[in-house]
Amino acid sequence: MKVRRLNGVLIALAVLAVLVIGRLIPQQGETILLWLLSAGVGIAVLLRPVLGLYMMVGLIPLTNEIVLVEGVSTSRIVGMVTIGAWLVGKLARREPLSALTSGSMTWPIISYTSLVVLSGLWAESSSLWTAAMPTVVRLVLMFFMVSDIVTSWSRLRNLILILLCSGLLATTIGAYVFFFQGTLRASWGYGTANGFSSLVLVLLPFAFYFFVHGRKLERSIGLLSVAVGVVALGASVTRTSLVIGLFLLLYQFWEWRQVGQRRLIVVVAIVLVVASLFVPWDAIADRMAGLVAGDEITTIEGRGFRWRVAVLQILDHPVLGVGYANYGAAYYTYAGKLDPRVLFLGGSARKVVHSLYFGILAELGVAGLVLFAWLIGTSLKVLRSAISRERELDRQDTRWLLVALRISFLCYLLYSVALSTEDSKLLWLLFALVEVAGRLAPAPLADVALTPEHSSESPYLAGSAT
């Protein structure tokens, strides 16, 4: 236990040191700091791979906030060094790589990414496809690294807790920007306002989990994450997040009602009502009015218009698409057919369709969508089987952790209807966590120090049915 606490303190100090030094050093010292950071992370991962993983995941919600080198996030630097050191360590120890391919999701992952790679043969723009490949490689390697390192329930729980703590810091920054700077829809934390709100929705189920099942400090973190997350979510003024957030709450309340936890539903409802008093409802109402008026369909830059462009690309290339990351390359050719004014607007060729599913259909065709559906279906099947096994064994803590993971996963998939997330670290991290859950479900709980708060004796779950 002392070693775990020490690891947590070291990680927190390392992140704080990066923030402070990044602000203090002159511009010419950035390269030196980058090499020092990379070397430190590499050594840490070689000696203790799980530390590098914790650092990498902890930096994901703060992608926009911790940037040492212009144009390159610290999250990406730490991620690349962590993955590289992990691979070197496995090769140096001569560990068999065959164990990495034994999971339930291995073949769906390999099949989908193989099509992504092969799409370069018919891509509209080979340069855009080439530029996207390093990200694809990093995401796939991250999936295998997480599933390889997270070998116990305690590691899975710690990893999610670190992600939640980092997300709490990101949402606090978002709330600060809103209250003290009056800025709405700012790009803080994780990507744009849409990316940030999707992060909050992914973390909320885990916040509920730690609020109910955590130790005292973990419960406080869970409660704060719920309250601050709701305010930050409102400040993002994203219409999609309101719809998905409602789904999240209804699903979570339904799960609690299944085990007779009406008191818990009332407590959480009160917290949500208090937090909603600080949400900018006027700005949200204006955004919703634009949706009702059909702005997303009639406006050239709206999602509806971009989806119509995707439909034209799909009709021309129904089987294999226009090539991965090539929606933008073919955008103006098809957009001009819908509205010639687009040709005079200019803008970046890196147009995105703002929909994971329309994007896959346009870039990889029906073949790509079928393979991705296979990946999603396998993920949901793995989760359902794991939750069933934990329920049969009456292991309340791990069962509710997996329920939180399922709600988080479904929320992100739903949000992806209106957001391009095929190259999102969050999506691929969720895939990896699902794979880990499938491998751990039959495992014993010897590595988890269950306390009354972690078991069915929790004050919220006392006397509940399984």
pLDDT, tens digit, 9 for 90 and up, residues 75-100? 777 778 788 878 887 888 787 776 67
- pLDDT of 455 reads 38
Selection from 197, 170, 160 nearest residue 405 by Cα: 160
- pLDDT of 3 reads 53
Selection from 269, 298, 297, 283 nearest residue 241 by Cα: 283
Does residue 404 carry a pLDDT above 90? yes
Q: Which residue has the higher pLDDT, 140 or 12?
A: 140
- pLDDT of 28 reads 47
Distance CA 66, CA 189 (A): 9
Mean pLDDT (whole number) for 155-184: 83
Residues 6+ apart with CB under 8 A from 395: 445
Does residue 196 carry a pLDDT above 90? no
Q: Are the CB atoms for 256 and 460 separated by under 8 Å?
A: no
Stated length of the chain: 466
Q: Tokens at residue 176, please?
A: 């600060």
Q: What is the pLDDT of residues 258-288, one digit of tens each?
A: 877 788 888 888 888 888 888 777 777 777 7
The segment with the largest mean pLDDT, out of 2-16, 221-235, 446-460, is: 221-235
Q: What is the pLDDT of residues 23-74, one digit of tens each?
A: 455 444 555 566 666 666 667 666 777 888 888 888 888 876 665 555 666 7
Q: What is the pLDDT of residues 285-336, one digit of tens each?
A: 777 776 655 555 556 667 888 898 999 999 999 999 999 989 988 888 888 8
**Burial (0-12, 13-18, 19+ Cβ within 10 Å), 250:** exposed
- pLDDT of 204 reads 93
Selection from 370, 371, 359, 285 nearest residue 323 by Cα: 359
Q: 370: pLDDT confidence band, cut at 50, 70 and 90? A: very high
Does residue 104 carry a pLDDT above 60? yes
Mean pLDDT (whole number) for 356-381: 95
Mean pLDDT (whole number) for 456-465: 39
Q: Which residue has the higher pLDDT, 402 or 298?
A: 402
- pLDDT of 30 reads 54
Mean pLDDT (whole number) for 448-465: 38
Collapsed DSSP state (helix, strand, coil) of residue 214:
coil
Phi, psi angles (nearest 5°) of residue 191: 75, -150
In the chain, the percentage of residues whose pLDDT exceeds 90 is: 30
Q: What is the pLDDT of residues 409-441, one digit of tens each?
A: 999 999 999 888 888 889 999 999 999 999 888
Strand partners, 69: 72
Distance CA 33, CA 402 (A): 39
Q: What is the pLDDT of residues 387-401, one digit of tens each?
A: 999 888 888 889 999
Q: Residue 159 carries which side chain, given as an amino acid letter?
A: L
Does residue 164 carry a pLDDT above 90? yes
Mean pLDDT (whole number) for 337-365: 79
Residues 6+ apart with CB under 8 A from 69: 30, 31, 34, 77
Q: 175: pLDDT confidence band, cut at 50, 70 and 90? A: confident
Q: Are the CB atoms for 330 and 306 separated by under 8 Å?
A: no
The DSSP line for 330-389 is THHHHHHHH-GGGGGT---S----S-HHHHHHHHHHHHHHHHHHHHHHHHHHHHHHHHHH
Q: Are the CB atoms for 203 and 408 separated by under 8 Å?
A: yes
Average pLDDT, the chain: 79
Distance CA 341, CA 299 (A): 11
- pLDDT of 294 reads 53
Q: 466: pLDDT confidence band, cut at 50, 70 and 90? A: very low
Q: Tokens at residue 19, please?
A: 């923030």
Q: Up-side HSE of residue 71: CA atoms within 13 Å toward CB?
A: 0
Strand partners, 72: 69
Does residue 462 carry a pLDDT above 70? no
Distance CA 420, CA 263 (A): 38
The DSSP line for 393-461 is TT-HHHHHHHHHHHHHHHHHHHHGGGS--TT-HHHHHHHHHHHHHHHHTTS-STTS---GGGSTTSTTT
State the alpha helices, DSSP H only, in 119-192: 126-149, 153-181
Mean pLDDT (whole number) for 183-189: 61
In the chain, the percentage of residues whose pLDDT exceeds 70 is: 75
- pLDDT of 336 reads 82
- pLDDT of 187 reads 57
